[in-house]
């Protein structure tokens, strides 16, 4: 499978862009465990044009994580085109447009999945970005705004005609948010539409190796994108690829190894958010750090501690820990 001139192996796995999750620390960890493409957190076009520091930081990419996409969102074509030019200067492999974010602060202001209520404007933005950069432009979107307006089959053709290089589809409407089951039938319909020739990437509720295999085999998608199932479990990509090879579900890491990966990710987050290269981890071991707070989402979601008896109090303590010393002591104390 290829997106423009970027080649991927058979049955590629992509990491979905997620706000406050897919920073370089997490992307590099997923890359180590076999993900085939990663994407930045979504980047506000308006904030990027205004040179907001936090937004500019999101453009940081590393050679080791390629191929990598920078994802943009916004509600105005002129701003999105300008932001795409700025993002292109960071030298990503792909510029991706977010037409799928369902949260109120984005969709409610006419960006993200809010543009599914205004298809002409959505297409105008897409065309402006495609014309603004020489990089491949991809789109990530949903089935439609709600149950009565599932427009994805027609929309996919129109986006392809504008010149996008690939389309990722989350199998829910905006109205569903993240509730209910993802519906892959329309994703399959888009893929099997004889007019479609660009790669179609399926997304939604892929949480096991068996489900990933089913999505490829049953719906014929060119790639599978995994989001929430990778939070606190970056090794899911290796588990899925092992299943593709052997047909067996295997735990590729021991309990101890999984804990060590979680600790490694926490340290990487601290290095990303709190310290520079001249500062040692040891020197901040007993300090309150942003990287620890940032890691709580991964610790809360991880399946590593699932099923451990009487774990509730330990879990609460782990999510309240404010220093690396305290947090690692708690993690190291957990045994099965």
3-class secondary structure, 101: coil
Backbone angles phi, psi at 166, to 5 degrees: -165, 160
CA atoms lying within 13 Å on the CB side of residue 196: 26
Element (H, E) at 69: strand 68-73
Cα–Cα distance, 70 to 43 (Å, whole number): 8
- The continuous run of DSSP H or E covering 64 comes out as none
- Report CA torsion sign: 200, 204, 210, 214: negative
Reply yes or no on whether 101 is catalytic. yes
Cα angle for residues 77, 82, 86 (degrees, 5° grid): 145
Answer for the pair 83, 42: CB distance below 8 angstroms, yes or no: no
Contacts of 317 (CB under 8 A, 6+ apart): 330
CB 217 within 8 A of CB 283: no
Q: How far apart are CA 7 and CA 1, in angstroms?
A: 6
Residues in contact with 179: Cβ distance below 8 Å, sequence separation at least 6, in sequence order: 172
Helix (H) or strand (E) holding 97: strand 94-99
In the chain, which residue ranges form alpha helices assigned H by DSSP?
24-32, 45-49, 53-57, 77-88, 104-107, 119-132, 152-162, 185-191, 209-219, 236-246, 255-273, 290-301, 312-320, 324-333
C-alpha pair distances (Å), 190 with each of 16, 31, 122, 137, 208 = 19, 28, 18, 18, 23
Select which of 30, 39, 101, 215 is catalytic: 101
Catalytic site residues? Answer: 101
């Amino acid at each position: 499978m290829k997106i423009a001139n970027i080649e991927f192996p058979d049955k590629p796995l992509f990491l979905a862009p997620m706000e406050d999750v897919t920073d370089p620390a997490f992307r590099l960890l997923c890359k180590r465990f076999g993900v085939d493409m990663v994407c930045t957190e979504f980047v506000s076009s308006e904030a990027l044009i205004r040179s907001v520091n936090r937004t500019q930081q999101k453009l940081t990419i590393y050679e080791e994580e390629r191929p990598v996409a920078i994802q943009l969102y916004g509600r105005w074509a002129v701003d999105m085109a300008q932001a795409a030019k700025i993002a292109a200067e960071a030298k990503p492999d792909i510029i991706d447009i977010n037409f799928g974010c369902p949260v109120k602060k984005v969709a409610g202001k006419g960006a993200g999945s809010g543009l599914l209520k205004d298809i002409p404007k959505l297409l105008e933005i897409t065309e402006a970005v495609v014309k603004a950069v020489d990089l491949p432009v991809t789109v990530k979107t949903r089935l439609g705004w709600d149950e009565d307006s599932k427009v994805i089959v027609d929309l996919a053709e129109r986006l392809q005609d504008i010149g996008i290089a690939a389309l990722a589809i989350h199998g829910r409407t905006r109205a569903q948010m993240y509730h209910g089951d993802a519906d892959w039938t329309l994703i399959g319909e888009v893929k099997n539409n004889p007019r479609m020739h660009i790669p179609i990437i399926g997304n939604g509720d892929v949480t096991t190796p068996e489900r990933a295999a089913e999505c490829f085999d049953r719906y014929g998608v060119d790639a599978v994108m995994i989001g929430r199932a990778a939070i606190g479990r970056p090794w899911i990509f290796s588990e899925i690829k092992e299943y593709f090879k052997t047909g067996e579900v295997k735990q590729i890491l021991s309990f101890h190894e999984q804990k060590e990966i979680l600790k490694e990710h926490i340290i990487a987050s601290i290095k990303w958010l709190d310290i520079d290269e001249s500062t040692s981890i040891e020197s901040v071991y007993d300090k309150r750090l942003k990287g620890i707070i940032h890691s709580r989402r991964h610790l809360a979601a991880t399946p590593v501690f699932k099923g451990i008896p009487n774990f509730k109090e330990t879990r609460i303590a782990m999510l309240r820990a404010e220093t690396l010393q305290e947090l690692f002591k708690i993690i190291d104390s957990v045994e099965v």
